[in-house]
Structures are given as C-alpha cells and as structure tokens.
Amino acid sequence: MNQITISVEGESLLAELNDSETAQKISEALPIEGTVNIWGEEIYFDIPVFADQASDAREEVEVGTLAYWPAGSALCIFFGRTPVSTGEKPRAYSPVNIVGHVVDDTEPLKTVSSASTIRIARLTDVS
C-alpha cells in the first residue's frame, strides 16, 4: 500500500492507495492539487490522470473509499450518503475504480466547502 495524505481546509488525513493500475497512475502523478466539488457526502475533483473503467468498477462503495471516476477523470472521496444512495452506503453517480481508502476518521470532511483547494501527496512529500 502506498500511503498518502489528503490536505484540505487545515485538515490532513492519512489514506492508502491500493495496488490497482489506476492507483499506480494516480501515485505517479502526485502531488496533485485540485478544487473541491461536493456531491452529497462525497468530495470529487479533477485530476490529471486518465484511466478506463476497471473490470471491477462499481457504484456502491464504503465510507472512506477513494475512487477514480473514469467518466469525469476525477478522484472521489466518499464519506457518507450521496444523492443516489439507496441505503446508508455511499453510491457513485456511475461506476468508479476503487483506488484506496482513508485510514483516518472521515468526519472532518463533512465541513469542507465547495471550491476549497485540496492536495493529495505521498506521505514522504508532505511539507
């Protein structure tokens, strides 16, 4: 697992990327800065990574899931229900590639504002 940090609005959360092909592409592009978009209890932002939908892509995920949205070339961080959730679990708008998970509590993400700057970096690149 490749440890990364997610920094936004003074909060820093530890996360891990898995060993999928999409996660490797994201790791190679780090550090990445973007502008937060909020959709229910999901943060997503454009990243300079292009990957096809994985064979194991899915819509329903767990709280804390990091995913790549092929339809929008965006990284998604799920921390609760989204507008298309049918139960308590987060649900993506369309299938996403699972690329990792947030290790820390995702509760601080619930106060993040749209249009904030978010930064994803390798744990070793944190300054």
Q: By residue range, what is the domain housing residue 33?
A: 2-125
Over the stretch 8-50, which tens digit does the pLDDT of each residue have? 999 999 999 999 999 999 999 999 999 999 999 999 999 999 9
Q: What is the pLDDT of residue 48?
A: 98
Can you give the CATH number for the domain in which 37 is found?
2.40.100.20
What's the predicted TM-score (pTM) here?
A: 0.95
Q: What is the pLDDT of residue 125?
A: 60
Instruction: Find all residues with CB under 8 Å of 109, minimum gap 6, and list them.
Output: 8, 11, 13, 41, 43, 77, 79
* Counted domains in the chain: 1
Q: What percent of the chain has pLDDT over 70?
A: 97
Instruction: Dig out the tokens for 55 from the structure.
Output: 């064979």
Cα 82 from Cα 33, distance rounded (Å): 23
